Chains A and B, each alone.
Chain A
Amino acid sequence: MVDDIKADETLDCKGLSCPMPILKTKKAIGKMDSGQIIEVLSTDPGTKNDLPAFAKRSGHEYLGHKDDEGFARLYLKVK
């Protein structure tokens, strides 16, 4: 499922820790259109919890994540 996702934007948050990945995502989403998909790359294990929680609160749709080598790719559909 997550393998087929084509992202419109990729946000590289590798090396950043809480709360930077969430805030950078929030900022990037502000410049995107409804229905677009953002891909967030993160090395912080906390992002896998924080991003779905952020999506739930802000109304965006969390599509899931997949693990890459040493980091995770997380997908969010802008509301």
Chain B
Amino acid sequence: MNDKREKSVLGGILGRGYAAIFYDNWPIGLGGLLIAVMSMITFAWARPWGVAGGLRNWGDNFFSLIGVYSHPPLSPLISTNSILTLGLLWGAFGSALMSKQFAIRKAPPLELLKGIVGGTLMGIGAAMAGGCNVGGFYSAVSALSFSGIAMMIGLIIGAYLGLRYIYWELEHLPSGGGSGAISEKKQKGFSWLHAEPYLGVAILLAGIVCAWIYNQKALTRVGGLLLCGMAFGVIIQRTRFCFVRGFRDPFMTGEAEVARAMAVSVIISMLGFAALKWTGLRGEDAYVAQAFWFGGLVGGIIFAFGAVLSGGCGSGSVWRAGEGQVKLMIAVTCFALSMSLFEALIDSSTGLQALMGHRVFLPDFIQYKWTVIGITVLMFVYYMLAIWNEETDRFTVEM
């Protein structure tokens, strides 16, 4: 009797724990912290976190397969870029299943068109800036690259312009809704929704098994990166952390929550990167892209405009695709293809490469200590501006 009650108490605790982790969304601030921690772990383990590089690798492989490129790219099973992005998709998919949030979500035609245009623009912007909001901004600023700050300014401008377009669209092209009810195959007596958590566990376990197989094949680093990518996927799906909101929301609703979480996250991640580079444990040139200032700034503007259209940035599009949103699946596909093509174009022309700008590793110019202080102050200013705007609505654009 007593034993039974204890068991049911334990069941209750486990049930509540599961609900807290997989049914309630985690706070955005926690997301920022966990992303910063994972960003440092990933760099310490092998390399900085990136998303667009993986998409580019998939695009390269596709074009190589159909004979557009003559040189075969790195296999997506070996490329660390590809593995990180695959892990993100995988982790988000598993996490969405465990939260019963996975469903194929169709979207009306105008939304799908925005996915195509937005994805294509993101690919072009990421090619110019040396990465998406992650590799070109988040990891780049962490890696003390000046191009990351150029891209941040571009992202702010692009998010503003994108929002202006959305407002225009709301007035002139009522996209409706209603057509996008979830396609659910109804089977009598069997609900997919109830099976989703079990499927989610299986998917996440399969990822761990794959990492173990990599380990057996002497590719431990790649396997570890798969786990890192999956951790990003779970964290980002559970917190619904969306970088584009960090730039868009201050203009849209005035909300500062994501902007604040993002600013704090960048500071923590940057401190970790600075420690790893300053001490010589990691190469100083890691994630210092040849994109200061034109590539970062203009790429950032194009990227953020595309991200607002598609409703998700580099990481955001991938995790939402993993949640079953058709519009974002299309955006990710267009992103991969356009980035691959645009990178190939830039690589083939020395003029274009020169136009994108220079590699500027800030400590080469202002030492490590001033770089760390400068980036911290900059992010703090962004944090304070976001709060100030939340109170005053000074930058909020009315419809």
Contact = CB atoms under 8 A, between A and B. Distances in A.
Interface of A: 11-20, 22-24, 26-27, 30, 41, 43-46, 49, 53-54, 57-58, 69-71
Interface string B383-399: 00000001000000001
Given A15-B105, A15-B108, A18-B242, A27 B175 contact: no
Contact of A19 (B107, B176, B248, B323): B248
B148 to A, nearest CB: 25
Given A12-B177, A49-B240, A70-B184, A17 B170 contact: no
B103 interface: yes
Interface in B236-253: 240, 242, 245, 248, 252-253
A53 B107 contact: no
Interface residues of B, number: 39
B111 A15 contact: yes
A16 B184 contact: no
B373 interface: no
B108, B177, B320, B390 interface centre (most CB from chain A within 10 Å): B177
Contacts of B166: 19-20, 23
Nearest to A56: B255
B252 A19 contact: yes
A44 B399 contact: no
B22 to A, nearest CB: 12
A58 to B, nearest CB: 8
A73 to B, nearest CB: 13
5 contacts: A14-B177, A15-B111, A17-B311, A17-B325, A22-B252
Interface of B: 25, 101, 103, 105-108, 111, 166-167, 170, 175-182, 184, 240, 242, 245, 248, 252-255, 257, 308, 311-312, 320, 323, 325, 327-328, 390, 399
B253 A16 contact: no
B399 A54 contact: no
Contacts of A23: 166-167, 170, 252, 399
A19 to B, nearest CB: 6
B198 to A, nearest CB: 20
Contacts of B176: 12
A71 B25 contact: no
Given A19-B166, A23-B170, A43-B105, A12 B182 contact: no
A27 B101 contact: no
